[in-house]
Amino acid sequence: MTTAPTLLLPDQLMRLLELTQQSDSVELKLTVPASQYRSAAKALAIDPLDAQIRQVYFLDTPDLSLNQAGVVVRARRIQGRDSDSTVKLRPLVPSDVEPSIRSSPNFTIEVDAMPGGYVCSGSMKHPLGPTAVLRSVNGDQPLRKLFSKEQRTFFTAHAPQGLTIDDLSVLGPILVLKLKLKPQEFGRPLVVELWIYPDGSRVVELSTKTTPAEDIKTAVAARAFLSSKGISLSGEQQTKTKTALEFFAAELNAG
């Protein structure tokens, strides 16, 4: 999915501000155009040897029926840390979330904002042991074992009727390099993620998290900092998740 780099209309901006006030956090994101990968890495002093390695697996049907229903199911292996799983619903209207879900310590609402667009999502997360993901994707245990009862209930409430987690196909993995920077000129953490697809294509994303109370201030500071580094904010924006889903679904259907 791509988002045209246009300015938000006044009513869109008002809706964005309303959503941020009902969310737990705001993440500002920017996809770096392919033509700027090397120059951006140099400008930000990115050293890939400092990056944390991750493997991201998505679960969906070959025709991506989950994604079409606004549900994203993911499991991650993380270098030096435990694994985790997530069931995400997007777009999401915060006021529609049931109180029992909203009050769960494992559930968060976040607004992702990028040039020309935004989306509000709700994620139910669950920590896993370091070997759990491999056991499931290799077929040594059912896929449902990666998800808590709370996640499975959330999944059932929003997935197409009759579809279970064990019915899903494994899409992935995607190799991800994640690097956290602390540019002195910016004054807050900046995350760099390089998603590497099996065909060699890449998506590079810059992001920073902020609070609903400071979202506008952070957005202005981020824009000024990136512009000072010669990084364009007007390039076409590409969604990492949808790109990954479509890539692996095409592989499944071709086979």
CA dihedral defined by 134, 135, 136, 140, rounded to 10 degrees?
140
* Backbone phi and psi for residue 64, each to the nearest 5 degrees, phi listed first: 55, 45
Rounded distance between C-alpha atoms, residue 242 and residue 161, angstroms: 22
* Mean pLDDT of the residues in the chain: 92
Q: How distant, in Å, are the alpha carbons of 6, 10, 129, 229 from that of 40?
A: 22, 31, 35, 8
User: What is the tens place of the pLDDT at every residue in 162-205?
Assistant: 999 999 999 999 999 999 999 999 999 999 999 999 998 899 99
Please tell me the predicted confidence (pLDDT) of residue 233: 83
d(CA 154, CA 147): 10
Is residue 160 scored above 90 in pLDDT? Answer: yes
Report d(CA 70, CA 57) in Å as an integer: 17
Omega before residue 173 within 30° of 0, cis: yes
Q: Which pLDDT belongs to residue 10? A: 66
Would you say residue 60 has pLDDT above 90? Answer: yes
Per residue, what are the HEC states of 214-246?
HHHHHHHHHHHHHHHCCCCCCCCEECHHHHHHH
Residue 33 DSSP symbol? P
> For residue 80, which amino acid is it?
G
Question: CA-CA distances (angstroms) from residue 181 to 38, 67, 167, 214, 250?
Answer: 16, 31, 39, 20, 35
Q: How many percent of the chain have pLDDT more than 90?
A: 79
What is the share, in percent, of the chain residues with pLDDT greater than 70?
Answer: 96
CA 142-148-153 angle, 5° bins:
100
Query: pLDDT band for position 254 (50/70/90)?
Result: confident
Task: Evaluate whether 82 touches 128 at the Cβ level (below 8 Å).
Answer: yes
Cα distances from 165 to residues 87, 102, 240, in angstroms, run 11, 22, 22
